[in-house]
Every structure is written in C-alpha cells, then in structure tokens.
Amino acid sequence: MEKVNNEHYIDRWRRKYQIKNVLARNLLAEFFATAILRFIGTGVLAQAILGRGQYTSVQVNLGWGFAIALSVYSAWKTSGGHVNPAVTAVLYILGKISFTHSVCYCIAQTLGAAFGAALSYEVYIEAINDFDGGVRSAFGTNSSTGAIFASFPAPYLSNTGAFIDQVAGTGLLGLFVAFFCERRNQIPLFYQPSLFGVIAAMVGVCYSMNMGSPINPASDLGPRIFAALYGYGWEMITYQNYFFWVPVVAPMVGAVLGAYMYVLFIGLHIPDQETKYSLSSDEELKPLKF
Amino acid sequence: MEKVNNEHYIDRWRRKYQIKNVLARNLLAEFFATAILRFIGTGVLAQAILGRGQYTSVQVNLGWGFAIALSVYSAWKTSGGHVNPAVTAVLYILGKISFTHSVCYCIAQTLGAAFGAALSYEVYIEAINDFDGGVRSAFGTNSSTGAIFASFPAPYLSNTGAFIDQVAGTGLLGLFVAFFCERRNQIPLFYQPSLFGVIAAMVGVCYSMNMGSPINPASDLGPRIFAALYGYGWEMITYQNYFFWVPVVAPMVGAVLGAYMYVLFIGLHIPDQETKYSLSSDEELKPLKF
Amino acid sequence: MEKVNNEHYIDRWRRKYQIKNVLARNLLAEFFATAILRFIGTGVLAQAILGRGQYTSVQVNLGWGFAIALSVYSAWKTSGGHVNPAVTAVLYILGKISFTHSVCYCIAQTLGAAFGAALSYEVYIEAINDFDGGVRSAFGTNSSTGAIFASFPAPYLSNTGAFIDQVAGTGLLGLFVAFFCERRNQIPLFYQPSLFGVIAAMVGVCYSMNMGSPINPASDLGPRIFAALYGYGWEMITYQNYFFWVPVVAPMVGAVLGAYMYVLFIGLHIPDQETKYSLSSDEELKPLKF
Amino acid sequence: MEKVNNEHYIDRWRRKYQIKNVLARNLLAEFFATAILRFIGTGVLAQAILGRGQYTSVQVNLGWGFAIALSVYSAWKTSGGHVNPAVTAVLYILGKISFTHSVCYCIAQTLGAAFGAALSYEVYIEAINDFDGGVRSAFGTNSSTGAIFASFPAPYLSNTGAFIDQVAGTGLLGLFVAFFCERRNQIPLFYQPSLFGVIAAMVGVCYSMNMGSPINPASDLGPRIFAALYGYGWEMITYQNYFFWVPVVAPMVGAVLGAYMYVLFIGLHIPDQETKYSLSSDEELKPLKF
C-alpha cells in the first residue's frame, strides 16, 4: 500500500488522528468493545432461541465466555476493557477510576451494547421474520423473540428472586475483578482476559436458569431499549411489573458486594512473600526455560 | 474515593486489618475459597437437576472444572487454594503442611462448603419450590432435589462399589497434586490452577456415572449436613445404609494412594537435567521472544 | 537412524532442500496449512451431517476452532499461517504483505482447501455411500451431502441476507486480525494461534445459523469446485441463483471493514505507555517468577 | 511427617531409590502414563456406552483430549510422555530415540494401557453388570460393551476403509508431533502437552465416526487383549475378519506419513530468522512485562 517517505499510511493516521484525550479515547474504546460483546452475544442468543432447541445450553454459555474474553482483549490496552458497568463500579471502589469517568464509561457501554444489538438484528432479521412471521412479541409466546435482546424471568421467578439471582451472579464476577486487581496474585496480563471469559461462562453454567445471567446492566438495558423502540414495544420494559430494572440495579449491588468480600476475606491478607503452603514453592524453582 | 495523605483506603485497610497470623489468614482463605467452589458447584447441579434434562452432562463437568480453577486461583497466594481435604492430605504426606494445620484446613473447608451451598440454596429457592411443590425429598423420587447438595449412588451401586469409585476418581486428583508439587515438572504457577480445572472436568467425564464424582469430602459432607438440617431430613445421611461416609473417607484414601503412585512410578526418577527424550530439547532452544 | 559425520539426515535434508525463495516456501506452507484446515473441517462437517443429529452444534463449532488453531500453528513461523484470503486481505491493507504476494497466497489457499477436502472425501467415502446410497446430491434433500464441502443458505435466507451474514462474521474475524497485528496489544506469539481458534469457534456460536459461517473464501470455494467436479454436479455452483459467490466476495469486504473499524475505534489510539485504567497496572508488578 | 537430619522422607527416598538407568526409568514412566491415559479413556467410553445416550459425543472427544493432555504432562520430564507407539515412531524417524528404545517403549505402553483398562474395569464392573446382565458381549448387540475397551468399525466400514481412516487420523497426530519437535516453532514446553490434548480432541471431532479414532496401537491393543482374556472372548480379536490389526498397524503408517509431510512441506523451510509475514513482527516488540 501507499507509503510516503517510507511511512505506512496507518502510522501516518496514527500520528495525525490519535486521540490524545484519555477520557475520549477510553469512551470510544468502551463503546466499541461493548458493541463487539453484544454483537456476539446477541448472535449467540438468536441462535439459541430461533434454533428451537438444536443449540444446547453449553453452547450459549461458552458463546458468552468467548464474547467476554474477546471483547475485553479488544480494549484491554486502551480503556481497560471493562465492557460492563458492574466491572467499572468495582474499579471505582478500588480507586482505579474516578466517579465522573465511571459514569461516562457506563453511558458509553450502554450505547455500545445497543449499537451492537442493532447490528446483530440486521444480520438475523430474515431468520426472525421466518420464526415469528413478522409479528414481533417480547416474551411469553411460542414465537416471542424479545429474549434475544434482553433477559426475562423464568415463570416461577419473582422480582425479589431475580434481584437475589443477579446479586449472586454478578457477585461472582465482582469478586474475580477484585482478584485480578490485586497485583500480588500475579496473573500475567495477556492471560487475564482469557480468564474473564472463563468467569463469564462459569456464571452461565451455574446461575443462568432463573433469568439467563445478564450480569451486565449495559448489555441488558441498551439492547432492551433498542428492541422496545424497534418493533417489540414497551412490553420489553413493563413485563412483570417493570422487571427491567432488576438486571440494571442488582448487578451493581452484587459486584460491589462480591469485590468487598474478596478484599476482606482474602485480598487484604495476601502476604508479600510467597507462602510455603502453595504447591510448588517458588524459591526452589530455577527460572523456567521455555 | 477518599484518600488520606494520598493513601487509598484499601491500602489503609491492609495496613490496619491484615491478619499477620499465618494459620488464621489461611483458614479464612480456605473457608472463603471452598465457599466459592460450592457456591458455583451447587448452582451447576441445581441447573442440571431442576432443568429436567435441558442441560447436558458436558455442561456439568465443564462447570465443576470452572469452579475448581477459579476457586483455587482465589486463594492461591494465601492458603495455597486447596479447597479439598484430599488435596490437603496429599500436601501433608509430601511434607508441605503440618498435621495440626491440615486438620484445621479440613474443618475450614467443610464449613466453607456448607456456607457456599446455603447461599446457593437462597438463589434457587423459588426454582426448587417450583420443581418439588415445596416438599423436600432427599433422593429417589421424580421431585427429589437432595442431589443438588450431596452425592447419591446410582441404583446399581453398592457402598463397596462406591468406595472403589471414589478411590479411583480422587486417586487421579491426588496423582496430579503430587505432579504439581514436584518442582522439576516446571509448570508455571499462573497456569497450575487452570490445569486443576482441567483435572476436575476430567474426573467428571470419566468417573461421574456411578455417583457423580464428588472427590472432595468437604464439598460433599458440608452441604449434605446443611441440607439435612434445612428441610431435606436425615435421609441425606441414612440413605442406603449410611452411604454418606463413603465420599468422606474414600477420597482421603484415594488421594494419598494416587500421590504415592505418582511419586514411586515417576516423581522419584525425574532427572535433574532435561531428558533428551522430550520432544524439543531445551538445550537447543534460544530464549523465547514473546 | 542413519547419520553421516554425526549429522542427522533431517538436518542434511534441510541443508540440501530448504527452499530459499521466500514466496515459494510461503506458498507451499499456505497450501499445506489450508489443506490441514479443510481436512479437519470437512471431517467435522461430515460427522455433523452423516451422523443424523448425534453430533451437537457445539461440537461443530469447537471442531472448527481446533482446526483453525492447529492449522495456523503449523505455518506460523513460515508464511504466517493466514489459511484464509480474508486474513491475507487484512494483512495487505495493514502493509504486512504486497499485493502480488497476496494474490498468490489466495490461490495457494484455495488449491490447498480443495486438496484437503479431497483427502477427507476419501476417508468418508464409505460413510457417504451408506448415507445417500451412492447417489450424490448437492443440497435440499434428506440424503444431500454437498454441505460437507461448501456452505448453503438456510431456507429463509436471501442472497442479500447471506451477504450481510458473511460481512458480519468475517468482520469479527478481520477485527481481531487487526488486533493481533497491533504490537501494542502484546499478546505472546505462542498464544495467538490459540486465540485464533477461539475466534473461529466464536463466529460459529453466534453467526452460523444462517449459512454455516464459512468466513473463508478459499475454504468454501476450493472444496465446492472439487465437489462439483467429483460427483455432486453444478448445482454446487448454481444453487439459489449462483449463491456460491456470496461466501467468496462478502468475507473480503467484511474482513477489511472489520479491520478498519478496529483501527479507527481502538488501534490508532492505544497509548504507548500502559494505561492506568487496566486492572493491574504493570508498573506495580515485580517480574513474575514462574 | 518424619524428617531425619532435616531431610524430608521423600527426598531420602529420591536419594535411595531413584532409578539411574535412563531406559528403565523411562519405561516405568511410559507404563504409568499410558495406564493413566487408558484409565481415564476407558472411563470416558464406559460412560458413553453404559449411559445409553445421556452423554454426548462432544464429551467423549473432550474427555480424550483431557486424558492425553494430562497423561503426557505426567511423564513429560522423564520419558517425554509419548504414551503412544505412533508418537514414538515419529520421534524415531526424527532421530530423537533409538530403535531398541522405541521397541521397548511400545511394549511398556501396551502393557500400561492394558493395566489402566483393567483398573477401570474394576471401577465400572457393577455398572457393566447392570447394563448387560452379567453376560459379556464384544460388539453388535444392544448390550455389547466390548467397545469400552477397543475400537470397532461402523456397520458400513470395510477393513480397507478402516485402514484409510486410521492413516488419516494418526497422520494428523504425527504431523503435529513433528511440528512440536521442530524447535524453530518455539512453543513453550509447559504449553505443549495442553496442545496435545487439543490435537486428540480435534481428531475425535473430525475422524471418530468411522471407528472411534483410536489412533494409538498400545491404547487399542492392550485393553483389547485384556478384555478378550477377561470375559469378552476372542470375538474382540476375530470380529470382522480380524479387524483388530487395523488400529495397530495403520496408525504407525499414518503417523510416519504425517510427520514426513510436515517436514517436507513446512519443517525444512522454516527460516532461522522471524518471517516478516507473521502478524506482529517480533523485532518491533519490547519484552513483554507480565
């Protein structure tokens, strides 16, 4: 491709267009990474629902695990790859990000999720029309497809039960965010987003039966509003006595609770030197030759 | 968040509240990590049983693999992340932990597992009530849910067969604990908990059919007692001629047996220098540039 | 084995037969690696189709993930392991490969894919004959097996919808190729092909329902032509108004689009120094002792 | 535990009982590691067959992947962890092991596989009796369980087709063994057994439909003979015109063929310096800070 004075045009773009303002470039990265997350995640849910049972639960959970791992990688070196207001909340209470920046992050994430879901809707529009005959329905009938875009409760689940469910699932997430933030745990940076994917899949295999484990206010609210505006109607919001606020509020509570539990039970007490109780003590190890 | 003299409040907490007593902080970490393990694991089993077949066996096995990997990571740098009396027993015979400390570890793990299961019960209480109509039953009927909290034998399985099964499954675990303890194997510390997850999933895919591969006395006994006290009744304990002691005793035997087999067959004989029989000999390798 | 003057015969072969011409050896590597990819991938699809539902969707997606990871590894240190014209296109626009070389790469990949599929056909010929009674059919009947070799659209899917689908799926791929090309992301080289496998599996779990997520013009076109010539007839090409060109052209568009989106939204703006917004800041970290 | 002069008893054992003879300790390690492989693998197959369809194909394939990864790890630093005569054959033609040692390895592996299968049989004996009513049958009836111990062909498969199938599957294995042996590929040693697991799972997802992808003469023949002697009768050997020799001979041919293909197409031509065609060129990378 064209080079001027031996400089590649991408490098020239970088020199010219790189955003120097930290907040601006971080919000752009959060918007984009959360869009990726939800572009993948919406596709996973679309296949699960439109496939009428040909896709197993384990595929949905692995799918969200892949989505989290890859979207976190994408923004890892810019904004930190939070892609979730609940993660941002934990970093706020741990002093890694200011309150103002946190609020901006949450807005960028919600807009990004809505954008990603909208793109995914375009890809699956023919499949959805084939499934519901062109009549959109939020939830509860055999041809409802609203659950592609936002979580809904199982028939037995009260809003109180849903709140507890989201505190539990996001509590696990928040706990491990605090774990990664503790540098004494020495998880290599390149490996952390992979483990985030494992955590997301893990929450799915243990706490997705009640309401599908959204554990992410942005990823749940943004696409829900998009769907409400774009054919599914206000039942997306009003279903079961305005259920929608549960997966928005409860994850924030759960993530902070989980993070503090990690800090109090384990994080504060990690010794600065290696414990002799670990399996292979470091002091005996010669440097690993790869 | 608030900072005094530029010190973050988490750092101040650490300075003020860090537990200096090694045993105390390790027991706290074991309690918490085993609670995480069983909080995840109980959720996995709840979905498998309450879902009436919509969740496949592979999801249960991957789920326990995720649970082990992540709970071991959480306490890795404090107590070593045993989360299982059978693991503690292997570290004891390998001289990594004293007898008194080992006993304390086992108690902390059992209490932690009961606590984690109790939390999980709260999350799934509406789903369980929907499943069994509010009538708790330990095992054997279509609406029994006791197997969410503890292992039960397949119809064909005698208590002797169950004992052999748990010696086999935990033997595999103990073997690989001894493998990791051998520093000449040079598995990077950050990667070991991930492999622990693989081992847990592996035991599930090969030895879970007989009785569900508990392979962890704390994770099986703690939640079993909780369930017995909390609505399921003493059938949790008395079922099939007091079956409950098998997954408590057999794993300790199996883990020690497996560890000694590894030590005798392989561990003692690992050369201090690299073998020329490995695939790519280290001596030829230049340092890896990442 | 025989050694002359203490030199192993493989080393002697290397000295004698090593191809010094960079393009020639790279094309050989691309041919071979794409043959591996499609030799594995065709087997995965053969099992899915000939198995009449005993293989789940998650196995197909994991299978293609394994196929990509391993085939990329195989040519990683020679040609870069593109194994996909869409990947080559992204490297071209990022200035990593010249236009002429890119075109040669695409041809080698297409021939390699056809060769790999032909080998796979030999392995499954008895199974295919058992399935269709020896009467080959491209698509649409209960005994059609053409989808083992190339993608076909779901009944509801128009060619326009198919184009959008492939732009979406390959867009995700192109995005992450650009991500890996950005050295500031610091993903270790040995780990990148593993993540490529995750990306391939990810596209399968979110965008394979419409038409099976080929996202690779060489892997789709080469085996399609082989099958057309080798018993399946020209319906492989002419089906649904010459659908075949969609998975050839759309992935090129999608990959370039995805790569530019990554560059514009994130890549250009990655700071040269570590961001303080990442979870554990590098500056606080002592070197990791393995 | 007891210490004499501050020396742990395991260290004393090492000093006293370490086997200094390289071949002896390697054969012990191969015996033990192949026993582990087949102890796990037999359990995986037992669940698949005795579970009457409650276990999916993806679990079987992942299970064998776990089994290979973990058994290779166990002997990695002693004998190299071949656990498969086909792997030993590749290392022989690549000059890593002598002919005499290779033959001894193959015998140790076969005995180890038989021993592992025998142990596994003891664990599942009550389940097998429940399944077949105590009447052992090798293959072909609804209550046949011989396929737990050895491979059998699908109804449509001729012995010629089976030979081709095993050359294909083991060809993929041999190819990647040669890949790992090439130090220029720079895969870290600790990561190689994990990738071996991926390779084993990969062969299962693409070439297991014809006859179950044994791709390991020791793992197939040893347990087959054990089962023939231990209740299943000589039909284990005589089935379909002495089918049993196919998975013994074909993998040796396939592995060598695959290895040479890798060497000729790629291995010989890998440049000593980094190619500029790889995604992120090493020369631009600063050392990765973990």
Does A90 reach chain C within 8 Å, measured CB to CB? Answer: no
Distance from CA of C103 to the nearest CA of D (A): 14
Place of tokens 């449509």: D156
| pLDDT values of chain B reduced to their tens digit, one per residue, 290 residues | 455 567 889 999 999 999 999 999 999 999 999 999 999 999 999 999 998 777 788 999 999 999 999 999 999 999 999 999 999 999 999 999 999 999 999 999 999 999 999 999 999 999 999 999 999 999 999 999 999 999 999 999 999 999 999 999 999 999 999 999 999 999 999 999 999 999 999 999 999 999 999 999 999 999 999 999 999 999 999 999 999 999 999 999 999 999 999 999 999 999 986 555 545 433 333 333 33
Does C42 reach chain D within 8 Å, measured CB to CB? Answer: yes
Neighbouring C-beta atoms of residue D238, cutoff 10 Å: 13
Alpha-carbon distance C208 to B18, whole Å?
A: 51
pLDDT of residue D290: 32
pLDDT tens digits for D11-45? 999 999 999 999 999 999 999 999 999 999 999 99
Q: Are B76 and A278 in contact (CB under 8 A)?
A: yes
The pair of three-digit structure tokens given for residue C157, joined into one six-digit string: 């899917």
Cβ contact (<8 Å) for A25 and C57?
A: no
Distance from CA of C173 to the nearest CA of B (A): 23
DSSP state string for C153-167: --TT--HHHHHHHHH
A175 to A83, A89, A90, A196: CA distances (angstroms): 16, 12, 9, 12
Does B124 reach chain A within 8 Å, measured CB to CB? Answer: yes
The pair of three-digit structure tokens given for residue C33, joined into one six-digit string: 């690696």
Span D77-84, average pLDDT: 96
pLDDT tens digits for C66-95? 999 999 999 999 999 999 999 999 999 999
pLDDT tens digits for B85-117? 999 999 999 999 999 999 999 999 999 999 999
Does B188 reach chain C within 8 Å, measured CB to CB? Answer: yes
- Looking at beta carbons, which residues of chain A come within 8 Å of C164? 122-123
Q: Which of residues 200-239 of C touch A (CB under 8 A)?
A: 201-202, 205-210
Three-state secondary structure readout of D245-275: HHHHHHHHHHHHHHHHHHHHHCHHHCCCCCC
pLDDT of residue C282: 37
pLDDT tens digits for D42-73? 999 999 999 877 778 899 999 999 999 999 99
- Looking at beta carbons, which residues of chain B come within 8 Å of A273? none
- Looking at beta carbons, which residues of chain D come within 8 Å of A186? 290
Cβ contact (<8 Å) for D266 and C36?
A: no
pLDDT of residue B3: 52
pLDDT of residue D277: 52
Domain containing C243 equals 21-268
Nearest to C290 among B56, B188, B288 (CB): B188
Does D286 reach chain A within 8 Å, measured CB to CB? Answer: no
Give the phi and the psi of residue D124 in degrees, each rounded to 5. Answer: -105, 10
Q: Which amino acid is at C276?
A: K
Nearest to C183 among D274, D280, D290 (CB): D280
Nearest to D290 among A56, A189, A290 (CB): A189
Neighbouring C-beta atoms of residue B248, cutoff 10 Å: 18
Alpha-carbon distance A282 to A274, whole Å?
A: 7
What band does D280 get if pLDDT is binned at 50, 70 and 90? very low
The pair of three-digit structure tokens given for residue A141, joined into one six-digit string: 């009938």
For chain B, how many residues are written?
290
Alpha-carbon distance A188 to C280, whole Å?
A: 10
Alpha-carbon distance B72 to B95, whole Å?
A: 20
Distance from CA of A156 to the nearest CA of D (A): 27
SS3 at position C139: coil
Longest C-alpha distance within chain A, in Å?
Answer: 68
- B148: nearest CA in chain A? A206
Give the phi and the psi of residue B246 in degrees, each rounded to 5. Answer: -60, -55
pLDDT of residue C290: 32
pLDDT tens digits for C128-144? 999 999 999 999 999 99
Neighbouring C-beta atoms of residue A209, cutoff 10 Å: 24
Distance of CA C152 to the CA centre of its chain: 17
- Looking at beta carbons, which residues of chain B come within 8 Å of D287? 289-290
- Looking at beta carbons, which residues of chain D come within 8 Å of A56? 56
β partners of residue C49: none
C2, exposed or middle or buried, with CB in 10 Å at 0-12, 13-18, 19+?
Answer: exposed
Nearest to A66 among C92, C198, C275 (CB): C198
Q: Name the pairing type of β-strands A3-4 and C3-4.
A: unpaired
Does C199 reach chain A within 8 Å, measured CB to CB? Answer: yes
Q: Name the pairing type of β-strands D7-8 and D3-4.
A: antiparallel
Q: Work out the angle at residue C31's Cα, subtended by the Cα atoms of residues C61 and C70, and round it to the nearest 5 degrees.
A: 35
Give the phi and the psi of residue C226 in degrees, each rounded to 5. Answer: -55, -45
- For an interface test with C, the pick among D266, D283, D289 (most C C-beta atoms closer than 10 Å) comes out as D266
Nearest to C73 among D56, D165, D179 (CB): D179
- C192: nearest CA in chain B? B290
Is C90 inside a domain boundary?
yes
Does B270 reach chain A within 8 Å, measured CB to CB? Answer: no
The size of the A-D interface in CB pairs under 8 A is 13
Neighbouring C-beta atoms of residue A47, cutoff 10 Å: 25
Does A58 reach chain C within 8 Å, measured CB to CB? Answer: yes
Is D11 inside a domain boundary?
no
Q: C152 or D276: which carries more pLDDT confidence?
A: C152
Is C14 inside a domain boundary?
no
Does B268 reach chain A within 8 Å, measured CB to CB? Answer: no
pLDDT of residue B5: 63
Does A198 reach chain B within 8 Å, measured CB to CB? Answer: yes
Is B1 inside a domain boundary?
no
Instruction: Split chain A (290 residues) into runs of 10 and give each run's mean pLDDT.
Output: 69 93 96 98 96 84 98 96 98 95 98 98 97 95 95 97 98 97 93 97 96 97 98 96 98 98 96 59 34
β partners of residue D4: D7
DSSP state string for B194-227: HHHHHHHHHHHHHH-TTT-----HHHHHHHHHHH
Does C47 reach chain D within 8 Å, measured CB to CB? Answer: yes
Alpha-carbon distance A281 to D9, whole Å?
A: 18
pLDDT tens digits for D231-250? 999 999 999 999 999 999 99
- Looking at beta carbons, which residues of chain B come within 8 Å of C186? 290
Distance from CA of A18 to the nearest CA of C (A): 5
Does B275 reach chain A within 8 Å, measured CB to CB? Answer: no
Q: Which amino acid is at B145?
A: T
pLDDT of residue B7: 81
Q: How many CA atoms lie within 13 A of B245 on its CB side?
A: 5
The pair of three-digit structure tokens given for residue A220, joined into one six-digit string: 């749940």
Q: Are D51 and B60 in contact (CB under 8 A)?
A: no
B193 to B27, B81, B176, B197, C289: CA distances (angstroms): 19, 9, 12, 6, 16
Cβ contact (<8 Å) for B288 and D186?
A: yes
Distance from CA of D199 to the nearest CA of C (A): 8
pLDDT of residue B260: 98
Q: Total structural domains in chain C?
A: 1
Distance from CA of B160 to the nearest CA of A (A): 32
Does D6 reach chain A within 8 Å, measured CB to CB? Answer: no
Q: Are D176 and D193 in contact (CB under 8 A)?
A: no
Place of tokens 């592992």: D116
Is D50 inside a domain boundary?
yes
- For an interface test with A, the pick among D54, D284, D290 (most A C-beta atoms closer than 10 Å) comes out as D290
Does D54 reach chain A within 8 Å, measured CB to CB? Answer: no
- B176: nearest CA in chain A? A279
Residues 6+ apart with CB under 8 A from A185: A179, A270, B73, B76, B77, C280
Place of tokens 């599996």: C201
Four-point Cα dihedral D59, D61, D63, D69, nearest 10? -150
pLDDT of residue D270: 94
B15 to A186, B1, B24, B75: CA distances (angstroms): 20, 17, 17, 20
Give the residue ranges of DSSP H helices in chain B: 9-17, 22-50, 57-75, 85-93, 99-132, 159-181, 192-207, 217-227, 235-242, 246-265
Give the phi and the psi of residue B33 in degrees, each rounded to 5. Answer: -65, -40
Q: How many CA atoms lie within 13 A of B289 on its CB side?
A: 11
Cβ contact (<8 Å) for C190 and B289?
A: no
B244, exposed or middle or buried, with CB in 10 Å at 0-12, 13-18, 19+?
Answer: buried
Q: Are D230 and D217 in contact (CB under 8 A)?
A: no
Nearest to B205 among D66, D75, D282 (CB): D66
Q: Are D59 and B194 in contact (CB under 8 A)?
A: no
Q: Which amino acid is at B1?
A: M
Is D12 inside a domain boundary?
no
Alpha-carbon distance C271 to C278, whole Å?
A: 12
Four-point Cα dihedral A265, A269, A271, A277, nearest 10? -40
- C189: nearest CA in chain B? B290
What band does C281 get if pLDDT is binned at 50, 70 and 90? very low
ipTM: 0.93
Does B259 reach chain A within 8 Å, measured CB to CB? Answer: no
Does B188 reach chain D within 8 Å, measured CB to CB? Answer: yes
Span D116-127, average pLDDT: 98
Q: Are C81 and C177 in contact (CB under 8 A)?
A: no
Neighbouring C-beta atoms of residue D131, cutoff 10 Å: 20
Rg of chain C over Cα atoms, rounded to whole angstroms, equals: 21
- D6: nearest CA in chain B? B95
The pair of three-digit structure tokens given for residue D94, joined into one six-digit string: 């690549």
- Looking at beta carbons, which residues of chain D come within 8 Å of C194? 195
Query: What's D38's domain CATH number?
Result: 1.20.1080.10
Q: Are A199 and B70 in contact (CB under 8 A)?
A: yes
- A56: nearest CA in chain D? D56
- Looking at beta carbons, which residues of chain B come within 8 Å of D288? 290
Alpha-carbon distance B272 to B278, whole Å?
A: 14
Q: Are A168 and A159 in contact (CB under 8 A)?
A: no
Cβ contact (<8 Å) for B209 and D51?
A: yes
Alpha-carbon distance D120 to A213, whole Å?
A: 38
Q: Are C40 and D202 in contact (CB under 8 A)?
A: yes
Going by the DSSP 8-state scheme, the letter that residue A107 receives in this structure is H
Alpha carbon distance, N-terminus to C-terminus of chain B: 37
Distance of CA A218 to the CA centre of its chain: 8
- Looking at beta carbons, which residues of chain A come within 8 Å of D186? 290
pLDDT of residue D127: 97
Is C253 inside a domain boundary?
yes
Is B182 inside a domain boundary?
yes
